[in-house]
Amino acid sequence: MEGVSVLLVVFTAVLSCNAIVFTPCQLARKLRTQYNAELVKYFEGNLSLALCIAGYHHYNTTYHLKHPDGSRSLGIFGLKYTTRVPECVFFKFDHANDFLGGDLNCLNKTVLVHRKKAYMYERLCASDLTRRITCDVTLECKCTVTESAWVPIHDDIIDITYGEEDSVVKYLSDHNKDYFSMPEQPEVASSHMFLSVTNVITTAIISMIMTVLVFGVYLIYKKFV
C-alpha cells in the first residue's frame, strides 16, 4: 500500500511538471485549434464561455480550492473529483497538466449538463461582469480568425464564494448586481464571419493572380506567334 502511495505521489509530481498558467489568448488558441470538437459538442462552439469559466480559475491548470466541507475544486475549470462520473474518474491525478480533453469532458458532465450550475457561469460571464477582448487565432488552413474572449472583472468570486449559489447571489448583490437578471448581451462578431471574409479575400487574390498570368501568357503568345 505504501508503494502505491509513493507511485501516486510521483505520478502527480510528473503531471505537475506540465502545469501552465495561460493568458486568455493563449488558451483561446489552444482550445480552438486542439479542442474545437469538444467546444462544438459541449459549448455549441462558444469559445468565449469556456475562456470565461477558466478565467474564474485564473487560467491555471494547477488551480486548487479547498471548500469548507473538505472537498476540492481542481484544474483550469475548477472541477470536483468524483468517482460517480466516469469522465472524472482519473481527473484527480490528471487535472494539473495542459491536456484539456479530460477537463472538458468532466466539465460537461458535472456542470454544463446541469441547468442550475450552467446558469451560474452564464450569469458570471454576462456582459456586466466581464470585459471583452479579442484574440487572433491561426487555424490549420493558415487563415486567421478573430475570437472574442470574456475576461472576468471580479475573478475572485469563486475563490470567495466557493461557487455556492447563495454566496454568489449575495456577492453580486453587494456589488449592485442581480444574479437572477441577465443583462442584454452585446452582439459579438462570430469567428465564422471572419473566416468567411478571409476565404473570400483569398479567393479574390487567387483569381486576380490567375487573370494576370493568363493575360501575360496571351501577350507572350501574341508577341512570338
- The rounded Cα 6 to chain-centroid distance in angstroms is 34
The domain locations on the chain are 2-184, 190-225
From 51, 53, 93, 55, select the one nearest 72 (Cα to Cα): 93
Query: Which pLDDT score, from 0 to 100, does residue 173 have?
Result: 97
Q: Are strands 79-80 and 64-66 parallel, antiparallel or unpaired?
A: unpaired
Residue 21 is classified by DSSP as B
Model pTM score: 0.76
Sign of CA dihedral 20, 23, 26, 27: positive
Q: What is the pLDDT along the chain (225 residues), one digit of tens a residue?
A: 444 444 444 444 444 456 789 999 999 999 999 999 999 999 999 999 999 999 999 999 999 999 999 999 999 999 987 778 887 877 666 777 889 999 999 999 999 999 999 999 999 999 999 999 999 999 988 899 999 999 999 999 999 999 999 999 999 999 999 999 999 765 544 444 444 444 445 555 666 676 666 666 666 666 665
Query: Which pLDDT score, from 0 to 100, does residue 1 have?
Result: 47
Query: Which pLDDT score, from 0 to 100, does residue 113 have?
Result: 95
Give the side-chain half-sphere CA count within 13 A for 116.
Answer: 6
Where do runs of H (alpha helix) occur along 35-177? 36-43, 47-55, 101-107, 115-124, 157-161, 165-174
